[in-house]
Amino acid sequence: MRKSVTDLGVISNIEGTVLTPEDREFILAPELSGLIFFARNYQSPEQLRALTDDISSLRPDLLLTVDQEGGRVQRFRNGFTRFAPMMAFEGCYQQDRAAALSLARHGGWLLAYELARQGVDLTFAPVLDIERDCSRVIGDRAFGHDAEAVTELAGAWCQGLRDAGMKAVGKHFPGHGAVVADSHLELPVDPRAREALDYDIRPFASLIRGGMLAGIMPAHVVYPDVDSDNTAGFSPIWLQQILRQQLEFEGVIFSDDLSMAGAASGGDFYQRSLAAAHAGANALVVCNNRAAATEVLRAVRDLRAQGAASLSLQDWKVARPEPQESKKQQALGLLREAGLVIE
C-alpha cells in the first residue's frame, strides 16, 4: 500500500529489560507507531520474548524493531547467531557470485527468523551504502565497494528477510559511504556532484524497482549540489522529488535517529520533527532521550490535528514462526563454513 507523505508516527525506545510504569504509560501514546530495542534491552532470548509479549499485550499494533545488521551493529548477541560484518560477503562474491548470493539469502533468513522467534518484527537493514574506505561510521557495515556488488548482495539479503516474513529497510539514502564524518557525532557534508551521487543511488533505485524495499531511511548528510540547506532527511528535494517522484518509491520513509548530532541542523526536537515530516518522512525515529521523544510525539500530535493521518505499521508485523531447527542448522552450517559467522 502506498504511504502518503501525511501518514505520520513515532518510533522510540524503552529504558531497560522490562517495562517500567513510565514505559507502560509512554507506549500507550497514540502517536507511537513502534519501538526500537538496544543492547541494554537484552539479556537473553527468553527475556526478550517475555518483553515483546508484555509490550504486545498492551499495544499489539506496535512495530518492534532493532538495528541487527551483524558485525559491530548487532544489539542482540548471546543466544543469537553472531554474524560477521556484511563486508565479509564481498570476498565471497568476488570468488563465486552465485554462491555468495545464496549465502546472503541464507543469512537474511536466519537473522530474521531468530528475531521473529522472539517477537521482533523488523531489523533496520540492509545497509546500501557503497564503501570507499573513508567513512568512520559505515566501513565494514557495507556489502561492498561497488554498486553492482552492493545491489546484488543486499538484494539477496532482502530476499532472505522476505523468506522469513520480514520487510526490508534500505539505508542510508542516497548514500553515506563517501563522507568521513560520523553523523552520530557531527554534520557530514558530501560535496560531490549529482552525477557522482547517482552512482551511490543505484542500489536504492534497483531494489526499489525490484519491489524489495518496503522502507527507506535517509542519511543525516548534506549534499550541497542537490540541496545546500538541508540534510537528506530534512529535504523535500531528496524525499519527495527524487525518492518519491523520480524513483517512484511508495513505501515508508523512516527518519534516521533525530537525536543524532547530524540532525541538530533541524533545530530543537519539535522543529526537527516538523522538518522531517514536511520533507516527507512518515516514521520519526527518536532514541535514548525520553524528553526528546515527548517533544516528537507532541509535534506529531499537532500535525495530526492539522490533518496528517496516523501511521499504522500493523501490516509490518511478523507472525512468530514455528521452530525450524533443521533449516536453521543448514543455514548456519553454510555460513560458518564460509566464515560469515563469528564463533
Of 219, 202, 119, 116, nearest to 163 by C-alpha is 116
Active-site residue, from 7, 23, 256, 257: 256
Active-site residue, from 54, 140, 184, 278: 184
Of 239, 123, 143, 233, nearest to 187 by C-alpha is 233
Task: In whole angstroms, give the CA distance from residue 326 to residue 241.
Answer: 47
DSSP H stretches of helix in 75-145: 88-95, 97-117
Of 120, 115, 10, nearest to 64 by C-alpha is 120
Q: What is the arrangement of strands in the sheet containing 169-173, beginning at the earlier edge strand? A: 169-173, 215-218, 252-253
Amino acid at 212: M
Of 289, 170, 290, 288, nearest to 232 by C-alpha is 170
Task: In whole angstroms, give the CA distance from residue 293 to residue 166.
Answer: 26
Q: Is 256 a catalytic residue?
A: yes
Task: In whole angstroms, give the CA distance from residue 160 to residue 155.
Answer: 9
Q: Is 220 a catalytic residue?
A: no
Task: In whole angstroms, give the CA distance from residue 9 to residue 105.
Answer: 31
Of 173, 259, 164, nearest to 208 by C-alpha is 173
- Residues with a known catalytic role: 184, 256
